[in-house]
Amino acid sequence: MSDPDFDSHLRNILQDREHGASELARRCLTLLAEIAEHAPADDSHGLRALLDHQAGRLAEARPSMAPVGNLLERWRHELARRANENDLSLWRRQAAAVARELAAASLRAVDDLSAHGAALLGPGRTIMTHSLSSTVLAVFRALKDSGLEVIVTESRPLCEGRRLAEQLSRWEVPVTYITDAQMGLFVARADAVLVGADSLLADGSVVNKSGTYPLALLAREQAVPFYVCCESFKRWRGSDQPPLEEMAAEELGVEALPQVSIRNIYFEITPARWVSAWISEQGIVRGSGAGKKNAGV
């Protein structure tokens, strides 16, 4: 893959508003697998240096998203272990295979997580969510034929809620679709709130799309359980908090005006004390948030 090609992929990942952290991490791994297989190189040492550099640039592209950094770091770690492999074509195959295995492990984690999530929520529930998380969608898929109903917020500015509503509609799952401003009117109609995470801090606090914090606070106020589903490689490894990415003001679709500063901060941190349970591929960890509202498992 030539540099202009890589730059264009990098730009897509940088500007991507459609996919969550896990999906983008898997796309990075797939991209690196393709580079490992096809990039021009004289020897394995030169190719490894190139891939190492490109993996670093991919990880920096989405700093709020822990799995991008974590999975790429795991991959670089595996490459470093194979530093003595001098056969270029063998090295290519190994580097690509490791990337694809990590992407597959990430998908398996979502599968395992969705089974735990479905067992925790149980059949016949009304679940409220915010933004579009592929992990939350996997839990909904596991529950779609057992009486699930979903309350979906539109999630401005780009309204990922619309795509979620479309998918649920295709599955024939009844959806109540609301503006973000109506959160407070609808949270008490849910048996639980379920959101994904872009990163999970060491203390269990949740980095997720803006609007998650007020939804968690409303859930606590109305005694509705607030669940977070999140694979284990979403754990933030840094010592500081991740930066909260701010996107282009133009996404709000408002004309520029003198004295008016349009803000578009994508992520916010919801404190661990409002979380009723974390769902990962390893199982359920209970928190101090509201308990289960209506009986259940």
CB 115 within 8 A of CB 46: no
- Among 112, 191, 198, 203, the one annotated catalytic: 198
User: Whose Cβ is closer to a second copy: residue 71's or residue 183's?
Assistant: 183
Among this protein's residues, is 240 annotated catalytic? Answer: no
| Nearest distance, CB of residue 37 and a second copy, angstroms | 41
| Nearest distance, CB of residue 46 and a second copy, angstroms | 45
User: Whose Cβ is closer to a second copy: residue 31's or residue 164's?
Assistant: 164
User: What residue ranges bind a second copy (CB under 8 A)?
Assistant: 130, 153-157, 159, 162, 165-166, 168-169, 172-186, 209-211, 213-214, 217-218, 221, 244, 252, 254, 257-265, 268
What phi and psi, each to the nearest 5 degrees, are found at residue 255? -70, 145
Buried b (16+ CB within 10 A) or exposed e, 35-50: bbeebebeebeebbeb
Q: Which two tokens stand for residue 192?
A: 């639980």
> How many whole angstroms separate alpha carbon 274 and alpha carbon 18?
27
| Nearest distance, CB of residue 170 and a second copy, angstroms | 9
Helix (H, G, I), strand (E, B) or coil at 72: helix
> Which residue's structure tokens are 């106020």?
221
Strand partners, 126: 149
Closest listed residue to residue 203, CA positions, set 245, 157, 158, 236? 236
User: What contacts 208, CB < 8 A, 6 or more positions away?
Assistant: 130, 131, 133, 195, 196, 197, 198, 228, 267, 268, 270
| Nearest distance, CB of residue 221 and a second copy, angstroms | 6
Q: Which two tokens stand for residue 54?
A: 């490109």
Q: CA distances (Å), 16 to each of 11, 21, 153, in order?
A: 8, 10, 20
User: Whose Cβ is closer to a second copy: residue 26's or residue 209's?
Assistant: 209
Q: Taking CA 60 as the corner, what is the angle to CA 54 and CA 62, rounded to the nearest 5 degrees?
A: 120
Hey, which residues are catalytic here?
Answer: 198
